[in-house]
Structure 1
Amino acid sequence: MSLAGLFPIDKWNFKSHSILNNLPEDEHTDLFSHMQEQRYGKGEVIFREGAVASGIFFIKKGKVKKYQVDQTGREQIIYVANTGELIGYHAILAEEYYPDSAATLEESVISFIPKEDFTAVLERSIVLPRRLLKALSHEFTVLTNSISVFAHRSVKERLAIALIVLREKFKAETLPGEEIMINLSRSDLANMVGTGNENIVRILTEFKAAGILNSQGRKIWITDVKELIRLSGYGIQG
């Protein structure tokens, strides 16, 4: 089911997947020739908040959570990056430390591009700086939207939104005709929504009783997307 006209999914997704698409051949070759591919198990940290930014990361396969940790040690998941997306480039462009941490949500294949190689291509390129600026501008819109939602919507609405967004993330790698399965721990889901695990379990049970979703273990699949959109608050607003 398409969300077109039902839910503003663009307000929840970055556009870093488009940065490297159809680059001039020499730039593409230059960048990709310096990529160092590495396989990660589920839950492995890619980089940590406050670490020296040594390069950028291209997700060839898998999903990665970007998060920050508060003084109590609790994670706040800022974003879930999908196959084809770039992460870590903000720190390189700003010449600062990584502003957040990144860890895999599933087994992933991720390529690393050293800072020196990325900046060298960036300095020569006409196309890449414009794309990065466009991507950064959109990310500002996404993050502003997220802050607004956290400030003004209930936990139930935030969970509904998170499930809709995650369904699109997992849909990207689901074969036609297959059920779209959200495979995420309850603690990660709680850290996306900004609440405790017990609230997540309680509301998921309510959604299941209402016929909105089914679950088995950590896997969740949505059975009534339109009702979930209505509960998110977006359906009411049209």
Structure 2
Amino acid sequence: MNKGMVDTACGTCSNMDCLIKKNYQSPVVSTFTEHRKEIRCKKGQQFIMEGAPVTGLFFVLKGSVKVLRTGLHGKEQIVRFAKEGEIIGHRGFTTEESYPISAIALEDCTLCYFAKDRLQEVLKTDPLFTYDLMLFYANELSKSEVKVKSLSQMTVRERVIDTLLYVYRKFGQDNDFISIILSRREYADYAGTTEEQVIRAFSALKKENLIVARGKRIGIVQLESLQKEISEHNFYLDS
């Protein structure tokens, strides 16, 4: 990883989904961003290791990331995917001394890193920024609760569809295919099932003309039909 100090990136950044950018007009926040570090990660590179001491927060400037944790019997579970503007590492930031998750770049990424101590100083002095971060935590908790509920109540097919719709909402679709390329294993690790079950589910959905597949690439053909199939759970409404 290449690290380097950047003085003006937050001021010129156009990503309004970033919590830092939203609060950049605050003198406290803008001064704080002068201490930002930029980290570049290659595809497949891990930049947070589960169990490592918490040192700060990462914001995705460019690229996409998968966030994982170790489940039962050492099996990896993908907690979520993150794109530009989203925060990584917040789960261990406030109360825990070690990261409860790992994070790996899905493609070449540029990350903005903010040290824990400096960020805590900002939270103590800027109430609006602190409030926005609190709302972010509340929203993340709600999403986690929805996912736990879906894993317990949905069939394998429904979980695969829910995962497809989640990835579609997160990254969009371009030229008939979802914009990000994920392996069948990655779909399975998010859906809480096996790679073999994902392959079977994709095969069935393809035969029903609900999706198209070409190698690792997946495209949604009948969006409303997929939404309708899991509409009783209302999970597809959550992003």
- The answer, yes or no, to whether TM exceeds 0.5 is yes
Counterpart in the other structure of 2:217: 219
Aligned to 2:209, the other structure's residue is in SS state coil
| Per-residue Cα deviation, 1:158-178 (whole angstroms, up to 9, x for no partner) | 11011001011212xx67x77
Aligned to 2:20, the other structure's residue is in SS state coil
Q: Structure 2 counterpart of 1:159, which letter? A: V
User: Structure 1's 116 and 236: CA in aligned 2 closer, same or farther, altered over 3 A?
Assistant: closer
Q: Structure 1 counterpart of 2:207, which letter? A: A
Q: CA deviation at 1:27?
A: 2.9
Q: CA deviation at 1:179?
A: 5.1
Q: Give, in whole Å, the separation in 2 of the partners of 1:66 and 1:235.
A: 24
Please state if 1:54 is matched with 2:55.
yes
Aligned length: 220
CA contact (8 A) 2:177 2:217 kept: no
Q: Structure 2 counterpart of 1:213, which letter? A: I
CA contact (8 A) 2:176 2:219 kept: no
Counterpart in the other structure of 1:42: 43
| Per-residue Cα deviation, 1:118-162 (whole angstroms, up to 9, x for no partner) | 112222112111111111111111111111110111010011011
Q: Give, in whole Å, the separation in 2 of the partners of 1:150 and 1:216.
A: 27
Q: CA deviation at 1:33?
A: 1.4
Q: Give, in whole Å, the separation in 2 of the partners of 1:236 and 1:51.
A: 36
Aligned to 1:20, the other structure's residue is in SS state helix
Q: CA deviation at 1:76?
A: 0.6
Q: CA deviation at 1:235?
A: 8.1
Please state if 1:194 is matched with 2:195.
no
Q: Give, in whole Å, the separation in 1 of the partners of 2:18 and 2:232.
A: 27
User: Structure 1's 147 and 71: CA in aligned 2 closer, same or farther, altered over 3 A?
Assistant: closer
Aligned to 1:109, the other structure's residue is in SS state strand
Greater RCO, CA 8 A, separation 6+: 1
Q: Give, in whole Å, the separation in 1 of the partners of 2:233 and 2:150.
A: 15
Structure 2 unaligned blocks of 5 or more? 1-15
Aligned to 1:84, the other structure's residue is in SS state coil
Matches within 5 A, 1:77-96: 77-96=78-97
Q: Give, in whole Å, the separation in 2 of the partners of 1:68 and 1:22.
A: 29
Structure 1 unaligned blocks of 5 or more? 1-15
Q: Structure 2 counterpart of 1:200, which letter? A: V
TM-score of the superposed pair, with normalisation by structure 1: 0.84
Q: Give, in whole Å, the separation in 2 of the partners of 1:98 and 1:111.
A: 17
User: Structure 1's 235 and 55: CA in aligned 2 closer, same or farther, altered over 3 A?
Assistant: closer
User: Structure 1's 18 and 38: CA in aligned 2 closer, same or farther, altered over 3 A?
Assistant: closer
Please state if 1:63 is matched with 2:61.
no
Please state if 1:22 is matched with 2:22.
yes
Q: CA deviation at 1:236?
A: 8.7
Q: Structure 1 counterpart of 2:215, which letter? A: G
* RMSD after superposition: 2.4
Q: CA deviation at 1:96?
A: 2.5
Q: Structure 1 counterpart of 2:106, which letter? A: L
User: Structure 1's 235 and 87: CA in aligned 2 closer, same or farther, altered over 3 A?
Assistant: closer
Aligned to 1:211, the other structure's residue is in SS state coil
